[in-house]
Amino acid sequence: MPAADLDSFDRAILAELQRDNLTPQRLVAERINLSAPAVQRRIKRLQETGVISANVAVLEPGKLGLSITAIITVQLVNDRPDLSRPFRQRLQQEAAVQQSWYVTGETDYVLVVSATDMEDYQAICARLFEGDENIRRFSTSIALERVKTGLQLPI
Protein backbone atom coordinates (compact mmCIF):
# COMPACT_ATOMS: atom_id res chain seq x y z
CA MET A 1 0.00 0.00 0.00
CA PRO A 2 1.61 3.31 -1.05
CA ALA A 3 1.95 5.99 1.60
CA ALA A 4 -0.33 8.21 -0.47
CA ASP A 5 -3.15 5.70 0.07
CA LEU A 6 -3.02 6.19 3.85
CA ASP A 7 -5.60 8.68 5.01
CA SER A 8 -5.62 10.60 8.29
CA PHE A 9 -7.55 7.81 10.05
CA ASP A 10 -5.03 5.17 8.93
CA ARG A 11 -2.18 7.36 10.16
CA ALA A 12 -3.93 7.99 13.49
CA ILE A 13 -4.50 4.25 13.97
CA LEU A 14 -0.84 3.53 13.20
CA ALA A 15 0.30 6.20 15.66
CA GLU A 16 -1.86 4.69 18.41
CA LEU A 17 -0.69 1.13 17.70
CA GLN A 18 2.98 2.18 17.65
CA ARG A 19 2.60 3.61 21.15
CA ASP A 20 0.93 0.47 22.47
CA ASN A 21 -0.17 -2.35 20.20
CA LEU A 22 -2.27 -3.84 22.99
CA THR A 23 -4.59 -0.83 23.09
CA PRO A 24 -8.12 -2.17 22.66
CA GLN A 25 -9.60 -1.30 19.27
CA ARG A 26 -12.59 0.37 20.92
CA LEU A 27 -10.21 2.73 22.74
CA VAL A 28 -8.32 3.46 19.51
CA ALA A 29 -11.69 4.18 17.90
CA GLU A 30 -12.64 6.61 20.69
CA ARG A 31 -9.30 8.41 20.49
CA ILE A 32 -9.47 8.97 16.75
CA ASN A 33 -13.25 9.50 16.52
CA LEU A 34 -14.09 6.49 14.38
CA SER A 35 -16.26 3.43 15.03
CA ALA A 36 -14.67 0.27 16.44
CA PRO A 37 -15.73 -1.87 13.43
CA ALA A 38 -14.16 0.69 11.07
CA VAL A 39 -10.91 0.60 13.09
CA GLN A 40 -10.96 -3.20 12.99
CA ARG A 41 -11.42 -3.21 9.17
CA ARG A 42 -8.64 -0.68 8.70
CA ILE A 43 -6.23 -2.59 10.93
CA LYS A 44 -6.96 -5.78 8.98
CA ARG A 45 -6.29 -3.96 5.68
CA LEU A 46 -3.06 -2.43 7.05
CA GLN A 47 -1.92 -5.94 8.04
CA GLU A 48 -2.93 -7.54 4.73
CA THR A 49 -1.11 -4.87 2.70
CA GLY A 50 2.05 -5.18 4.82
CA VAL A 51 1.95 -1.69 6.33
CA ILE A 52 1.76 -3.46 9.70
CA SER A 53 4.40 -6.14 9.27
CA ALA A 54 4.40 -7.67 12.77
CA ASN A 55 2.89 -7.47 16.22
CA VAL A 56 5.70 -7.97 18.71
CA ALA A 57 6.69 -7.32 22.31
CA VAL A 58 9.67 -5.00 22.77
CA LEU A 59 11.85 -6.53 25.48
CA GLU A 60 14.32 -4.93 27.89
CA PRO A 61 17.74 -6.52 27.15
CA GLY A 62 19.15 -5.94 30.65
CA LYS A 63 16.23 -7.78 32.26
CA LEU A 64 17.16 -10.80 30.12
CA GLY A 65 20.83 -10.74 31.06
CA LEU A 66 21.91 -9.13 27.79
CA SER A 67 24.23 -6.49 29.21
CA ILE A 68 26.25 -5.81 26.05
CA THR A 69 25.01 -4.05 22.95
CA ALA A 70 27.60 -4.06 20.19
CA ILE A 71 27.46 -2.05 16.99
CA ILE A 72 29.56 -3.90 14.44
CA THR A 73 30.62 -2.60 11.04
CA VAL A 74 31.61 -5.21 8.47
CA GLN A 75 33.60 -4.74 5.30
CA LEU A 76 33.53 -7.50 2.71
CA VAL A 77 36.19 -8.34 0.15
CA ASN A 78 33.47 -8.49 -2.51
CA ASP A 79 29.76 -7.75 -2.06
CA ARG A 80 28.63 -9.78 -5.07
CA PRO A 81 25.38 -11.55 -4.13
CA ASP A 82 26.81 -15.04 -4.63
CA LEU A 83 29.76 -14.24 -2.33
CA SER A 84 27.79 -12.36 0.34
CA ARG A 85 24.85 -14.81 0.51
CA PRO A 86 26.45 -17.13 3.13
CA PHE A 87 27.15 -14.14 5.40
CA ARG A 88 23.60 -12.85 5.00
CA GLN A 89 22.25 -16.30 5.85
CA ARG A 90 24.33 -16.39 9.04
CA LEU A 91 22.96 -12.96 9.99
CA GLN A 92 19.40 -14.24 9.52
CA GLN A 93 20.06 -17.33 11.62
CA GLU A 94 21.92 -15.61 14.49
CA ALA A 95 19.43 -14.67 17.22
CA ALA A 96 21.92 -12.24 18.79
CA VAL A 97 21.80 -10.04 15.69
CA GLN A 98 19.00 -7.60 16.43
CA GLN A 99 19.41 -5.52 13.30
CA SER A 100 21.52 -5.73 10.17
CA TRP A 101 21.80 -3.12 7.48
CA TYR A 102 23.46 -3.30 4.06
CA VAL A 103 24.83 0.23 3.70
CA THR A 104 26.77 2.54 1.41
CA GLY A 105 30.19 3.96 2.20
CA GLU A 106 33.41 2.38 3.43
CA THR A 107 31.61 -0.41 5.26
CA ASP A 108 29.17 -2.87 3.76
CA TYR A 109 27.07 -3.89 6.78
CA VAL A 110 26.16 -2.41 10.14
CA LEU A 111 24.95 -4.84 12.80
CA VAL A 112 23.39 -4.35 16.21
CA VAL A 113 24.16 -7.35 18.39
CA SER A 114 23.09 -8.24 21.94
CA ALA A 115 25.32 -10.39 24.16
CA THR A 116 25.38 -11.47 27.79
CA ASP A 117 29.10 -10.78 28.30
CA MET A 118 32.38 -10.51 26.38
CA GLU A 119 32.75 -14.28 26.13
CA ASP A 120 29.31 -14.49 24.53
CA TYR A 121 30.19 -11.58 22.21
CA GLN A 122 33.36 -13.38 21.09
CA ALA A 123 31.40 -16.57 20.41
CA ILE A 124 28.90 -14.60 18.32
CA CYS A 125 31.75 -13.04 16.31
CA ALA A 126 33.27 -16.47 15.77
CA ARG A 127 29.94 -17.78 14.40
CA LEU A 128 29.48 -14.78 12.13
CA PHE A 129 32.98 -14.10 10.84
CA GLU A 130 35.45 -16.97 11.34
CA GLY A 131 36.28 -18.99 8.26
CA ASP A 132 34.58 -16.57 5.86
CA GLU A 133 37.29 -15.41 3.48
CA ASN A 134 34.93 -12.79 2.09
CA ILE A 135 35.07 -10.84 5.39
CA ARG A 136 37.81 -8.24 4.95
CA ARG A 137 37.43 -6.86 8.47
CA PHE A 138 34.96 -5.96 11.16
CA SER A 139 35.04 -3.32 13.85
CA THR A 140 33.02 -3.13 17.05
CA SER A 141 31.78 -0.29 19.22
CA ILE A 142 30.29 -1.25 22.58
CA ALA A 143 27.36 0.89 23.65
CA LEU A 144 28.02 2.57 26.99
CA GLU A 145 24.53 3.96 27.47
CA ARG A 146 21.23 3.69 25.68
CA VAL A 147 20.17 7.21 24.80
CA LYS A 148 17.24 6.30 22.55
CA THR A 149 15.92 3.11 21.06
CA GLY A 150 12.64 2.38 19.44
CA LEU A 151 10.76 1.07 16.50
CA GLN A 152 8.29 3.92 16.12
CA LEU A 153 8.26 5.56 12.70
CA PRO A 154 7.23 9.18 12.20
CA ILE A 155 3.68 9.29 10.88
For the chain, the structural domain boundaries read 3-48, 61-142
The predicted pLDDT at position 150 comes to: 83
- What architecture is the 3-48 domain classified under in CATH? Orthogonal Bundle (1.10)
How far, in whole angstroms, is CA 114 from its chain's centroid? 13
Instruction: Look at residue 3 and tell me whether its pLDDT is greater than 70.
Output: no
Residues 6+ apart with CB under 8 A from 97: 91, 111, 112, 113, 124, 128
CA distance 30 to 23: 11
pLDDT, one tens digit per residue, over 110-129 is 999 999 999 999 999 999 99
pLDDT, one tens digit per residue, over 64-114 is 999 999 999 999 999 999 999 999 999 999 999 999 999 999 999 999 999
Fold of 61-142: Alpha-Beta Plaits (3.30.70)
Instruction: Look at residue 1 and tell me whether its pLDDT is greater than 80.
Output: no
pTM for the complete prediction?
0.85
